[in-house]
Structure 1
Amino acid sequence: MPLGVVLRRLPGVTRWASHSWKAVAVLPGAGSADWQELRREGEAVEYHAATLLLELHGAETEAYLHGLSAAEPAIYVVMRECPGDQPLEVVLVTASPYEAQDYTDSGEEIVEKVPMPAGLMAWVQGFVTDFHQDEAFVKRKRDKTRTDLTQDGIGDPRIATAADIYASPARQRRRVH
């Protein structure tokens, strides 16, 4: 499903940052856009920065369920800073909190959590209903082989007797000339 990403530019709070950017909304079914201005209120400006495809995968349904069960289900927007006219490049939109977490590990991408609209929530839930399969818990079984009955591999071949293992090295006396 195509998702438009809305970014808001606000004036900077410190003298080192002239502006701050935040992903504030997604637009399900949006057409293509390239930093189209949507709204301006004083110094705050909202842009339809980009439209990307939200792809759902059958192997990720557990992650989607986890995201849908959150207090506020969200879409995660992954962005990178870039030089040029547009300060951010929108790289990815995902409904998987696990995938979003993977992008935060490198520290190069900016990951923002945006509230998931109700219609999109229903679409993701429908996908999960159709494709999710619970994995049965399989308890690991121990190997019955007893490894304590043999003494192979014990010690260093340079140690002659077992009593030598704990013996301290002999002191050597130096002669002073």
Structure 2
Amino acid sequence: MAGPNFRVGVVVERRPSSSPWATHAFRVVAIVPEAADMADGHVLGTEGDAAMLYAGSADVEFHRVETGNYRDNLATGEAMLWVTLSIEDTAAGIRLLSVTADPAEGEAMTEAGGLMVDVAPMPSEIAERLADFVRTHHVERVFRKRKRE
């Protein structure tokens, strides 16, 4: 069952790539706790060859069955969000697919071909909401090793 969800905005940096297989390199530079009212791919500014782009907005959902993963994420001292982008042949060069606070889900997305997964620090407002969610919904599950017969 899903818990609260909210929209966040994602800002990426686009630079020319030195790779012969890609024209641009991308990295997530910021997560905005409130989704901005602007078009996906909107150029926020440039500095030299680099451009800051608003990649778009996505829902971040908290799920009760994932509270253990969220707790581990928060326990690192610098909680992160995993951002999945699709590299595309568009003016912006990317499309935002998802944002998650679950490290296991973020890692699983790295196994999908053709996608880029990057991490960014979780804004404190989101970390506080996530910590409240974990405190409210976490149930410790005891691991029991099965014995072979």
**Which residue matches 2:3?**
none
1:42 Cα deviation after fit: 2.1
Q: Which runs of 5+ in 2 are unaligned?
A: 1-5
TM-score, structure 2 length as denominator?
0.85
Tell me how far 1:57 sits from its aligned partner.
0.7
2:58 matched residue in structure 1: 52
**1:161 is matched with which residue?**
none
- Deviations 1:92-124 (Å, cap 9, x if unpaired)? 000001001111122332110111112211111
Instruction: Report how far residue 80 of structure 1 moved.
Output: 1.2
Letter in 2 for 1:123: R
Q: What is the distance in 2 between the residues matched to 1:139 and 1:77?
A: 34
Q: Structure 1: any 5+ residue segments left out of the alignment?
A: 144-177
Structure having the higher strand fraction is: 2
Shift of 1:139: 4.9
The verdict on how the C-alpha distance between 1:14 and 1:138 changes in structure 2, with shifts beyond 3 A counting, is: closer
TM-score, reference length from structure 1: 0.72
Q: Please name the residue that 1:104 is paired with.
A: 110
Question: What secondary structure is seen at the aligned counterpart in 2 of 1:29?
Answer: coil
- 1:28-177 matches, within 5 Å, as 28-33=33-38, 34-140=40-146
One-letter identity of the residue aligned with 2:14: R
Residue range with higher mean Cα deviation, 56-65 or 9-18: 9-18
Q: Deviations over 1:70-91 (max 9, x none)?
A: 2531100001122222311110
Distance 1:17 1:81, change over 3 A: closer
Q: 1:101 to 1:14 in 2, by over 3 A?
A: closer
Q: Quick one: which amino acid aligns to residue 48 of structure 2?
A: G
- Which structure carries more relative contact order (alpha carbon 8 Å, separation 6+)? 2
Instruction: Let me know the Cα RMSD of the aligned residues.
Output: 2.0
Distance 1:98 1:85, change over 3 A: same
Structure whose alpha-carbon radius of gyration is higher: 1
Encode CA deviations 1:58-78: one digit per residue, 9 max, x unaligned.
Answer: 111111112112253110000
Distance apart, 1:20 and its partner CA: 1.5
Q: How many equivalent residue pairs?
A: 143
| Partner in structure 2 of residue 10 of structure 1 | 15
Q: Which amino acid aligns with 1:111?
A: V
Offset of residue 142 of structure 1? 6.0
Contact 1:3 1:54 (8 Å CA) reproduced: yes
